[in-house]
Amino acid sequence: MCGIAGWVDWSMDLSKQKETLKNMTNSIIHRGPDAEGFWFSKHAAFGHRRLIVIDPEGGLQPMLYKDGETTVSLTFNGEIYNYQELRIELEHLGHVFQTKSDTEVLLHAYLEWREDCVQHLNGIFAFGIWDEKLQRLMLARDHLGVKPLFFAQRDNSIIFGSEIKVLLSHPNVQAEVDTEGLSEIFCLGPMRTPGHAVFKDLHEVRGGHYILFTSNKTESKQYWKLESKPHTDDINTTVNTIQSILEDTVKRQLVADRPVVTMLSGGLDSSGLTGLAGNEFKQIGKTLHTYSLTFTNEERDFEEDFLRRDRDEPWVQRVSEHVGTQHHSFELGSEKLIENLLIPMRARDLPGVGELETSLYLLFKEMKKDATVALSGESADEVFSGYPWFHQEEFLKADIFPWNVNYSYITEILSEDLKTKINPINYQKQRFQEAVNEIPFLEGENDLQAKQRQMSYMFITRFLPFMLERKDRTSMMTGFEVRVPFCDYRLVEYLWNVPFEIKSIDNIEKGILRRAFQTVLPTDVCYRKKSAYPSTKDNAYLQGINVWMLDVLNDNTSPILPLINVEKVRSVVLGTDEIITGNEARGLIDYLLQVNSWLQEYQIKLI
C-alpha cells in the first residue's frame, strides 16, 4: 500500500519540478513511510510514497519500462491479488520480469492490453500511467473504489493523487468551496456523492472507472458495473458459491511479505473472515493474531438498544478460542478520543463521523506496532443486504437516501442564509434521483423486489464508498494496510442478483452468509444478531465535546458561525432541545466541531 502523486502538463517542461512534486508526496508520507521515489519527463512528473508489503527489494516506484520508442511510467497504490496468475499469462505472451512484485505485473498488463488491462485485474488499486509515445495519462481505480484517487484539471495540466491534500499541495490548486460543496457537507454529510471531492473543481475517479487524458481530449469510461439477471441457483448452490469465492478471496489476500492479522469484533463478518484466515494459518503451522476494541467502563456503561443487543468482548473471546488465535484487546478512554477527534478529518481532508472514526484510527495505530496488514469485514452488510432498512417500509418508499431519512433536522441547525442557498431537502432528492437513474432494474420483479434492488444499489454505490473511505484514511494515516475481502468484485456481482428473501433466509439478516460460515464458526456465533460498530457510552466524552462546542459558539471568529443557527446548536449542546437528543446530538456536535476546524485549518475560501 502506498500514496501516489502526479502532474502532467502538455505545454510545460516539468523535468525540473521536483520541489513541487516533493511537496505533494510529503503531504502523504503517512501512506508510505518506508520509501519515496520520483520520475520526470518533459511533460509528466510522478511521485510515490511506499508502504512495503510485497517484494521489499523489487517493488520500487514509480516503475519505468523503456524499450526503443516505448517508455511507460507507473505510480500505483494497492494490491493486485491475482498477480501471480497474470504473471504466468504474461510470460506465456513473451513478457520478461525483473522483480517479484505485483507492480511490475500491472505495468506489463498495461503494455499488453493498454487501458483494457483493468479488465484483467482482481484487487484494490488506484494508479496513474504515463505513456510517453502516446503522450497520454491513464488514471484508474478498482471496481468498488477501495483505493482513493483524486484529480484536478487546470488549463493544460492534470494534477492527481491518493488524497485531496496532494492536490492542495500544488500551487495551482486552491482550497475553495462553492455552494455545491457546502451542499455536500451539510445535506449529505460524510456520505458524499461519488466523484465529488467537495472542493471546487476537484474530482474523484469513481470506482470501476478509468480516465484517459491527452492534450486535447478527456475520455472517461466505466469498465465495470452491476448487471441484473435472474438468480437461478438453488439455496445449496448459492451457499457453496459464496463459500468458494470467500475462501479463494481470503487466501489471496493473506499473501504478503509482512505480518497479516485480522480485526475481530465478535460479529458475523469479522468472525467468519477470522475463521477462514485461521484455517489458512494452521495449514502453514502459524497462529493468527486478532484485534478488537473496547472502551473504558464499557461493562458498567453498556445499555442494550436496537443497534447493540449485547457487548462484543464475550463473543470476541468465544471466536478467538474456537479459531485458535492470539487475541489482543485495545481499550480506549474518553480523553484519548477527544484528544484525537480531528485526526480522521485531517486524514480524509473532509469532516467525518467523529468518534467512530477516531476509535478506528487509534486501533490501527496500536495494530501497526505488531503488523502491516489486516483483513476487515467492510461491505458485508452492503452486499448481503444486512441493514434493517432493507425490510422497513418507511425507508423503502423514501425519495431520499435511507440514511438521510432521520436527518431531517439538518435544516433546523443551518443559518437562514445557508438554508436558502443550498435547499437541503431538494439537494438530497436530486442526488437520490441521480442514483435511481443509474439502477439496472430487472424486468419481471414485483414492486417490493424492485425497491429492495434499489436499496441494494444505494448501499453499494453510495454508502459503501463512505465506509471504504473511512477505513482507508484511518488505517493509512498510521501507515497500515487494511484489506476488505467482502469487496471482491466477483462476490459483489454474484450477490447483486441473489433475491433478498434468499439473503435473509432463516428469517435473519444475512442468513445466507450465516449458512456459508457454519463450516468455520460455532452455531451461536453464526446466529448472533447484528450489532453495530461500538461507540463509547462514557458521559465524560459527551461532556468534553459539549465544552469544546460551547467554546466554538462563544468565539466570534469561529468560521462555522455564519453557516449555522447558533442558538439552535447551543440548545442541543445544553440539552434543552426537544428534537435533537441522545446519539443524534452527540453525532451532530462531533460533526460540527470537525466542520469548524476544517474551515479553519484548511483556510477554506467560500465562494
Active-site positions? 2
Q: Please report where in the chains the cell 480522521 appears, as a residue.
A: 344
Q: Is the dihedral of CA 322, 381, 528, 372 positive or negative?
A: positive
| Separation between Cα atoms, residue 73 and residue 11, nearest integer Å | 19
Instruction: Report yes or no: 406 and 536 within 8 Å, Cβ to Cβ.
Output: no
Largest CA distance in the chain: 74
Helix (H, G, I), strand (E, B) or coil at 198: coil
- Residue 151's nearest CA partner among 48, 352, 8 is 8
DSSP 8-state assignment for residue 377: -
CA 530 centroid distance within chain:
21
Round to the nearest angstrom and report the end-to-end CA distance of the chain. 36
Instruction: Report yes or no: 288 and 323 within 8 Å, Cβ to Cβ.
Output: yes
Beta-sheet pairing, 123-131 with 70-80: antiparallel
List Cβ neighbours of 10 (8 Å cut-off, separation of 6 or more).
43, 135, 156, 214, 215
| Separation between Cα atoms, residue 405 and residue 432, nearest integer Å | 12
Helix (H) or strand (E) holding 5: strand 2-9
- Helices 268-283 and 313-323: crossing angle in degrees, nearest 10, is 20
Helix (H, G, I), strand (E, B) or coil at 280: helix
Cis peptide before 62 (omega within 30 of 0): yes
| Separation between Cα atoms, residue 559 and residue 595, nearest integer Å | 9
* Residue 519 phi, psi (nearest 5): -80, -15
| Separation between Cα atoms, residue 550 and residue 45, nearest integer Å | 46
DSSP 8-state assignment for residue 34: S
| 58-59-62 Cα angle (round to 5) | 125
| H-helix segments, 152-263 | 164-168, 179-183, 235-253
Instruction: Report yes or no: 43 and 189 within 8 Å, Cβ to Cβ.
Output: no
**Cα radius of gyration (the chain):** 24
By the 10 Å C-beta count (0-12 exposed, 13-18 middle, 19+ buried), 437 is classed as exposed
Beta strands in 288-360 (DSSP E): 289-295, 326-332
| Separation between Cα atoms, residue 34 and residue 15, nearest integer Å | 25
